[in-house]
């Protein structure tokens, strides 16, 4: 499967994403510069973490207008898989590809630590391969990861099963104490209604091999790969 | 012409900066502070003299780019 990893000025998790996809998972992955207007033959797009355009104005506000994001919108509109990680999640919300917004952490601190994620539903191309009941130990590194959405959006999330991951304790309890940033409903990651675009604040690419202390993040990429392979098989048949 | 834009967090959005500044002000002995809201201030220098055209253009820019209507309110003044 061909992955495209976007690069904005001040993206800084792009190389980690390429390493996880190419070297660890063995799939072709290439950088796509923010000024490019085409995603080429990409089967899936990763919008990586970092501080695109210096996080000036608001996180993701400027990246959203870059030429490559117009191609990503079209790709998503055609049903292509798009995953935004950390700053990438912020970019996707600013672009209107995902609902809600990420605001300043409740305690104003930048959090850089391992947290636990509970997968809320296996029903998505981003979660289908995660073993049932498996908690994901994945690092976060953000100052503005407090998820906010209005009440009607949160109601729609529940009705459509759009919350993919929630922050939880080491024993899997979704508690206020396990919420590192004040996100509503402990939301760490969501998908759109069509389920082809997802975003999360934690960094699965930084937890893709045991050498790094956890390889739980692999399950998310493995889910995407499985979804793409199934699609290819379906198309061929 | 000059445009002045003030962007503030919406009431429904938790504003930890505002809360922290309020608490600091209280600790410094300032009394009677009900709430503090920390936002952004933009000053934009403009060519031309037609305030109405400038207002229309910048209003759209505020809505689409300079503020995020989901979490922020803005006030636009042109002088």
The C-alpha of A147 sits at a distance from chain B's nearest C-alpha, in angstroms, of: 10
Number of structural domains found in chain A = 1
Q: Which of B16, B17, B71 sits opposite A101 (nearest CB)?
A: B71
Instruction: Give the chain A residue nearest B12 (alpha carbons).
Output: A150
Share of chain A above pLDDT 90, in %: 97
List Cβ neighbours of A37 (8 Å cut-off, separation of 6 or more).
A67, A68, A70, A71
Check CB contact under 8 Å for A108 and B13: no
List Cβ neighbours of A58 (8 Å cut-off, separation of 6 or more).
A94, B68
> A219 with A134: CB under 8 angstroms?
yes
Burial A75-109 (b: 16+ CB within 10 A, else e): bbeeebbbbbbbbbbbbbbbbebbbbbbbbbbeee
Q: Which of B16, B66, B71 sits opposite A57 (nearest CB)?
A: B66
Check CB contact under 8 Å for A103 and B65: no
- Which sequence positions of A are flagged as catalytic? 86, 203, 205
Tell the residue number behind the tokens 């409740």, with chain if given.
Answer: A106
Higher pLDDT, B12 or A160: A160
Which residue numbers in chain B have pLDDT < 50? none
Local confidence band at A232 (pLDDT 50, 70, 90 cut-offs):
confident
Q: Which residues of B touch A (CB under 8 A)?
A: 9, 12-14, 16-17, 20, 65-66, 68, 70-71
CA A121 from chain centre, in angstroms, equals 15
Q: Which of A57, A61, A103 sits opposite B13 (nearest CB)?
A: A103
Instruction: Give the chain B residue nearest A104 (alpha carbons).
Output: B16
- For residue A160, give its domain range: 3-236
What DSSP letter does each residue of A101-114 carry, written as one string? EEE--TTSPPEEEE
Give A52's DSSP letter.
Answer: G
Check CB contact under 8 Å for B16 and A106: yes
Instruction: Give the chain B residue nearest A94 (alpha carbons).
Output: B68
Judging contacts by C-beta atoms under 8 Å, the chain B residues touching residue A100 are 70
Give the C-alpha separation, A191 to A89, whole Å.
10
A64, A102, A103: best to mutate for the B interface, most B CBs within 10 A? A103
Judging contacts by C-beta atoms under 8 Å, the chain B residues touching residue A146 are 14
Check CB contact under 8 Å for A104 and B12: no
Domains and CATH numbers, chain B: 2-78 (3.30.1280.10)
Per the structure block, which two tokens stand in for A45? 């797009």
Per the structure block, which two tokens stand in for A22? 């190419």
- Provide mean pLDDT across the span A14-20: 98
- Provide mean pLDDT across the span A66-95: 97
List Cβ neighbours of A33 (8 Å cut-off, separation of 6 or more).
A7, A68
Check CB contact under 8 Å for A65 and B65: yes
Give the C-alpha separation, B51 to B57, whole Å.
10
pLDDT at residue A140, rounded to an integer: 98
pLDDT at residue B23, rounded to an integer: 95
Mean pLDDT of chain A: 96
The C-alpha of B70 sits at a distance from chain A's nearest C-alpha, in angstroms, of: 7
Per the structure block, which two tokens stand in for A169? 């304790």
Whole-model pTM above 0.90?
Answer: yes
Give the C-alpha separation, B10 to B39, whole Å.
10
List Cβ neighbours of B29 (8 Å cut-off, separation of 6 or more).
none
List Cβ neighbours of B41 (8 Å cut-off, separation of 6 or more).
B4, B5, B6, B7
Give the C-alpha separation, A147 to A200, whole Å.
10
Kindly report the CATH number assigned to the domain that includes residue A188. 3.40.50.880
Local confidence band at A234 (pLDDT 50, 70, 90 cut-offs):
confident
Angle formed at CA A126 by CA A198 and CA A82, multiple of 5 degrees: 40
pLDDT at residue A237, rounded to an integer: 63
At residue A218, φ and ψ (nearest 5 deg) are: -55, -35
Give the C-alpha separation, A102 to A94, whole Å.
9
Give A131's DSSP letter.
Answer: P
The C-alpha of B65 sits at a distance from chain A's nearest C-alpha, in angstroms, of: 7
Share of chain A above pLDDT 70, in %: 99
pLDDT at residue B26, rounded to an integer: 96
* ipTM of the complex in this document: 0.87
Judging contacts by C-beta atoms under 8 Å, the chain B residues touching residue A57 are 65-66
Tell the residue number behind the tokens 């504003």, with chain if given.
Answer: B15
């Amino acid at each position: 499967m061909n992955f495209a990893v976007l690069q904005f000025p001040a993206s800084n998790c792009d190389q980690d994403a390429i390493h996880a996809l190419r070297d660890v998972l063995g799939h072709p992955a290439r950088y796509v510069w923010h000024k490019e207007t085409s995603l080429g033959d990409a089967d899936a797009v990763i919008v990586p973490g970092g501080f695109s355009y210096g996080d000036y104005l608001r996180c993701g506000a400027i990246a959203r207008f870059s030429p490559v994001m117009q191609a990503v919108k079209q790709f998503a509109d055609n049903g292509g898989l798009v995953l935004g990680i950390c700053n990438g999640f912020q970019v996707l919300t600013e672009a209107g590809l995902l609902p809600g917004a990420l605001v300043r952490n409740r305690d104003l601190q930048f959090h850089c630590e391992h947290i636990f994620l509970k997968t809320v539903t296996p029903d998505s191309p981003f979660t289908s391969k995660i073993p049932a009941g498996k908690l994901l130990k994945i690092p976060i590194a953000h100052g503005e990861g407090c998820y906010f959405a209005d009440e009607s959006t949160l109601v729609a999330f529940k009705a459509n099963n759009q919350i993919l991951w929630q922050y939880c304790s080491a024993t899997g309890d979704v508690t206020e104490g396990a919420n590192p940033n004040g996100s509503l409903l402990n939301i760490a990651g969501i998908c759109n209604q069509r389920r082809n675009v997802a975003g999360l604040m934690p960094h699965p690419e930084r937890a893709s091999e045991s050498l790094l202390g956890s390889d739980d993040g692999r399950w998310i990429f493995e889910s995407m790969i499985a979804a793409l392979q199934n699609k290819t098989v379906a198309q061929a048949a | 012409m000059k445009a002045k834009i003030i962007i503030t967090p919406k009431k429904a959005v938790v504003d930890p900066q505002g809360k922290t500044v309020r608490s600091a002000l209280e600790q410094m002995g300032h009394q009677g502070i009900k709430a503090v809201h920390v936002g952004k201030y933009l000053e934009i220098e403009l060519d031309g003299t037609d305030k109405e055209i400038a207002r229309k253009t910048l209003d759209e820019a505020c809505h689409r780019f300079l503020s995020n209507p989901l979490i922020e309110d803005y006030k636009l003044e042109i002088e």
